[in-house]
């Protein structure tokens, strides 16, 4: 069962030549446009091929079905988010709580900037959310945050750090999604991120004093 799911959402082959890379890039750009215009329910391989100006067969060279295309878009989004998280949280020259504050601001801003695409991809999530690749993407983010928590709360018990990590990441994800569903001005985003960062920092300071 697992092997079958992996085959359905994995790319058929990886592009190795410049022209192949350009083709895949064109397909993915077209997929973004189709998803933004049609939504997940009307997203089809044929529409992607038409928007990219290529044959459906060309799309199938790299993506076996629409789930594979959507999963690639989602994987790219996960990778960008994970890289953002890792880059900020691993800045060891910066105090932990300041890193957390920067992360909150960057995350909320990113959520608002990518709101339309994220909502569309969320609608498509049932196609791949239980796949091994999806679980690994979530696990990678969790490992980065857990490592940060060991630095931020060095005297706390592992259970307390794990609970704090789970609460903050779950809150960031849920609140970021909800907040970004309405248009926000840059000033509103800054004020909201400040308030959320204050809350998280106070929470970690309280745990550290226990």
**What's the rounded mean pLDDT across residues 89-111?**
93
Q: Specify burial of residue 101 (Cβ count, 10 A radius: 0-12, 13-18, 19+).
A: buried
- The predicted-structure confidence for 146-162, as pLDDT tens digits, reads as follows 899 999 999 999 999 99
Average pLDDT across the chain, whole number? 85
pLDDT of residue 7: 41
Q: Is 60 exceeded by the pLDDT of residue 31?
A: yes
Q: Is 80 exceeded by the pLDDT of residue 137?
A: no
- The predicted-structure confidence for 41-85, as pLDDT tens digits, reads as follows 888 999 999 999 999 999 999 998 888 888 888 888 878 888 888
CA dist 27 → 16, 46, 89, 126, 191 (Å):
16, 11, 33, 22, 38
pLDDT of residue 4: 41
CB-based contacts of 197, cutoff 8 Å, min separation 6: 100, 101, 104, 105
State the DSSP H helix or E strand holding residue 40, giving kind and residue range, or none if neither: none
Between 1-5, 36-40, 66-70, 159-163, the lowest mean confidence (pLDDT) is in 1-5
- How far apart are alpha carbons 121 and 102 in whole angstroms? 26
Residue 118 near residue 111 (C-beta atoms within 8 A): yes
pLDDT of residue 127: 66
CB-based contacts of 163, cutoff 8 Å, min separation 6: none
**What's the rounded mean pLDDT across residues 172-181?**
89
pLDDT of residue 6: 42
pLDDT of residue 177: 85
- How far apart are alpha carbons 205 and 186 in whole angstroms? 28
DSSP 96: H
- How far apart are alpha carbons 210 and 205 in whole angstroms? 9
């Amino acid at each position: 069962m697992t092997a079958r799911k992996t085959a359905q959402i994995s790319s058929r082959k990886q592009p190795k030549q410049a022209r192949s890379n350009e083709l895949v890039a064109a397909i993915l750009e077209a997929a973004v446009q189709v998803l933004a215009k049609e939504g997940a329910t009307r997203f089809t391989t044929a529409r992607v091929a038409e928007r990219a100006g290529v044959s459906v067969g060309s799309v199938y060279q790299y993506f076996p079905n629409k789930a594979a295309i959507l999963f690639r878009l989602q994987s790219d989004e996960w990778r960008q988010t994970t890289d953002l998280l890792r880059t900020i949280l691993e800045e060891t020259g910066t105090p932990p709580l300041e890193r957390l504050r920067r992360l909150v601001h960057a995350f909320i801003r990113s959520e608002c900037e990518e709101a339309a695409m994220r909502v569309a991809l969320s609608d498509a999530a049932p196609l791949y959310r239980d796949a091994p690749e999806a679980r690994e993407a979530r696990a990678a983010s969790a490992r980065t945050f857990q490592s940060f928590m060991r630095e931020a709360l060095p005297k706390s018990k592992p259970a307390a750090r794990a609970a704090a990590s789970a609460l903050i990441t779950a809150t960031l994800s849920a609140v970021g999604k909800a907040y970004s569903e309405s248009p926000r001005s840059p000033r509103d985003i800054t004020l909201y991120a400040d308030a959320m960062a204050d809350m998280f920092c106070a929470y970690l300071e309280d745990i550290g004093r226990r």
